[in-house]
Amino acid sequence: AQKITQTQPGMFVQEKEAVTLDCTYDTSDPSYGLFWYKQPSSGEMIFLIYQGSYDQQNATEGRYSLNFQKARKSANLVISASQLGDSAMYFCAMRPTSGTYKYIFGTGTRLKVLA
Amino acid sequence: DVKVTQSSRYLVKRTGEKVFLECVQDMDHENMFWYRQDPGLGLRLIYFSYDVKMKEKGDIPEGYSVSREKKERFSLILESASTNQTSMYLCASIQGYNSPLHFGNGTRLTVT
């Protein structure tokens, strides 16, 4: 079955340190896309980063990078130099099959950045 | 920038009421979605629409219906609200297959 697993319900990180949020996925499809979203307390979902299953290099967007390990079916989000504004809920999502828009979301990880 | 606007930020309704949640996007996206978000369950797809008057059930369509009469507007309807429909509802739209979902700010619905 298609599934996204985020095993860390909550995490703390000290300001200016790096943090890794875990995401594993399960699909038998050769073509898929992986996304990370941030949801601050205000409720809006903000797109952070995308990785396609055929992309050769790990995606990076500013302080965000995606550690994509295809064989292990993991797509961990790395946030470098954490800031207080990074405190939020983070969701990993997968677009599992070519031609479908039925994205699958994980249960999320709540990150708290400490001053 | 894409803007997805949900008409209400907070709603309180009574059990048995018919509830309309409205969503409008301004970027001519063909695909629009309604998700429900509950703690510990992540986001679950209720319905999505890939064109005007076209819709497809998501994972949890029971108790909900949708309407898409115009490309920019996608409405979620709770025919007879129940307390177990108390939740955060998120609308989203998408430009293309490898594009990210663009979300509205959400509607927090409480059914009493």
For residue A3, give the 3-state DSSP assignment.
Answer: strand
Which residues of chain A does B104 touch, with a Cβ-Cβ cutoff of 8 Å? 44
pLDDT in tens, A13-63: 999 999 999 999 999 888 899 999 999 998 889 999 999 999 989 999 999
Contact B43 A101 (CB under 8 A): no
* Greatest mean pLDDT among A51-55, A65-69, B95-99: A65-69
Specify the pLDDT at position B26: 94
Rounded Cα–Cα distance for residues A49 and A37 (Å): 7
Among candidates B31, B40, B50 on the partner chain, residue whose Cβ is nearest the Cβ of A107 = B40
Which residues of chain A does B35 touch, with a Cβ-Cβ cutoff of 8 Å? 105
Q: Of A49-53, A86-90, A98-102, give the lowest mean pLDDT range.
A: A98-102
Residue A4, pLDDT above cutoff 80: yes
Residue A1, pLDDT above cutoff 80: no
What integer best gives the mean pLDDT of chain A?
A: 93
Specify the pLDDT at position B95: 83
Mean pLDDT across A81-85: 97
Which residues of chain B does A50 touch, with a Cβ-Cβ cutoff of 8 Å? 98, 100
Residue A96, pLDDT above cutoff 80: no
pLDDT in tens, B14-36: 999 999 999 999 989 999 999 99
Rounded Cα–Cα distance for residues A108 and A93 (Å): 10
Rg (CA), chain A: 14
Contact A33 B48 (CB under 8 A): no
pLDDT band at B44 (very low <50, low <70, confident <90, very high): very high
Q: Interface of chain A against chain B, CB under 8 Å?
A: 4, 9, 33, 35, 37, 42-45, 47, 50, 52, 91, 93, 95, 98-99, 101-103, 105-108
Residue of B51, B95, B34 lying closest to A102 (CA atoms): B34
Type of residue found at B15? T
Specify the pLDDT at position B5: 95
Which residues of chain B does A101 touch, with a Cβ-Cβ cutoff of 8 Å? 31, 33, 48, 50, 94, 97
Residue of B88, B24, B60 lying closest to A39 (CA atoms): B88
Contact A33 B102 (CB under 8 A): no
pLDDT band at A98 (very low <50, low <70, confident <90, very high): low
